[in-house]
Amino acid sequence: MVRALAILLLCQLAGTIVQQGTGLPVPGPVLGLVLLLVILLRTGGPAAELRETSQGLLKHLGLLFVPAGVGVVSELPALRENALALLVAIPVSTMLGIAVTGVIMQWFMNREARPNA
Amino acid sequence: MHSLHLLPLFHIWVYLQTQPLLGLTLTLCVWEAARFIDGLAGHTALTNPAVITITILVALLLLTHTSYQAYFTGAMYIHFLLGPATVALAVPMHANWQAIRKNFIPISTAIIAGSLTAAGSAMLIAHLMGAPRAIEVSLGPKSVTTPIAMGISQQLGGIPTLTAVFVIITGMFGILVSSPLFRLCRVTDWRARGLAVGVAAHGLGTAHMLTLSETAGAFGGLAIGLNGVATSVLLPLLVSIFGI
């Protein structure tokens, strides 16, 4: 577990150093994700330890959102001031995002299922 | 009399507020309780453990007049794990690499379109309804998983904590509307459903999809990572095109 955490943190560190050094708009952890993916593709996949630690982290992904979510208590004034705009913008944009992605992917999958249609 | 007896308790309370122990323990215990409730209810959209945990903790902080800073002293150790968890998304992406390569064009087309739609419509609506720039920019990355969203928000001059709140609300809402929306739009393929929820409602939505279908979960995980990269690149462009 410790070795797996060290690998994940090293990728994040490398990503963060590249981000800070180049000023790329992509956050450090995302560059770390890309780096780890390239390594996994080159080396033929993760060792059992890395796979288990990653699955363990991702299984509790919801928990990791909690501290940031509780931050709502310090943002209540900003939320109240813009309540109406937020009450329209968040639901509408979320529904549009789901619908557009889902419909496009479904269209491709239907076409794949009926190649002569 | 009573206040004299309570004085040591008060000192313990004040001491604990400066230590990480209380915030950390409380978060883990409430999370376990929330998972228990979610299990009893049969993993419904309304009993999502993250939603329950956040609601209970917010109520506790408000009732006890505890500052977010005092709570975060402990909770930051959990928060920190979002970074390595983002990197860890490479593992399920690698496991699904064949399916991703085979469907590279459909996946990238759907994700780029969904990413632009979710971020663009949120900022446009907020703009038309007179929200200030900081709110608009903070809304942009709300469909992206928290660590990436907070990073994007910071780089564009938004308020990262506000973005985190928008991310959570978006995830909760996505869980609620996804099933009826899929029926309405005739999206029946689990790959398409997983991808759509991953793009628009990130990890919270994907964790929910995973309880419905393994395939949907895998494509959701893929969408979280790819949408994170896509939005990181596209949102700065969108902001400069909109001129905000």
pLDDT beneath 70: ranges in chain B: 1-5, 244
A100/B89 touch (CB, cutoff 8 Å), yes or no: no
Q: A98, A103, A114: which to substitute to probe chain B, counting the most B Cβ within 10 Å?
A: A98
**pLDDT computed for residue A116 by the predictor:** 58
Which residue spans within chain A are E strands per DSSP? none
Give contacts of B68 with chain A, Cβ < 8 Å: 70-71, 73-74
Q: Which one-letter amino acid corresponds to residue A104? A: I
Read off the pLDDT of residues A35-83 as tens digits, 9 standing for 90 and up. 999 999 999 989 999 999 998 988 888 898 899 889 889 888 889 999 9
> Which residue among A54, A71, A105 sits closest to B161, beta carbon to beta carbon?
A71
Let me know whether A105 and A79 are in one domain. yes
In terms of Cα–Cα distance, which of A96, A107, A108, A112 is closest to B113? A96
> In A, which residues are within 8 Å of B94 by CB distance?
37, 40-41, 45-46
**Helices and strands of chain B, counted as H and E runs:** 13, 0
Domain end point (choices A16, A31, A59): A59
Give the separation between CA B38 and CA B35, rounded to whole angstroms. Answer: 5
- Identify the domain containing residue A33 by its residue range: 1-59
A66, part of any domain: no
With CA atoms as reference, the chain A residue closest to B171 would be A94
- Claim to verify: residue A51 and residue A9 sit in the same structural domain: yes
pLDDT in tens, B151-180: 889 888 898 889 988 998 899 899 889 999
CA atoms within 13 A on the CB side of B173: 22
DSSP string, B179-230: HHHHHHTT---HHHHHHHHHHHHHHHHHHHHHTT-HHHHHHHHHHHHHHHHH
Cα separation, B153 vs B142, whole angstroms? 9
Domain total of chain A: 2
Please name the residues in contact with B48: beta carbons below 8 A apart, sequence gap of 6 or more: A62, B38, B172, B175, B204, B207, B208
Reported ipTM: the value is 0.88
- Residue ranges of domains in chain B: 2-80, 87-242
Q: Are A50 and A100 within one domain?
A: no
- For residue B4, the distance in angstroms to the closest alpha carbon of chain A comes to 32
Q: What Rg value do the Cα atoms of chain B yield, rounded?
A: 20
Question: Is B82's CB within 8 Å of A70's CB?
Answer: no
Is residue A65 a part of any domain in this protein?
no
Q: In this predicted structure, what is the pLDDT of residue A7?
A: 97
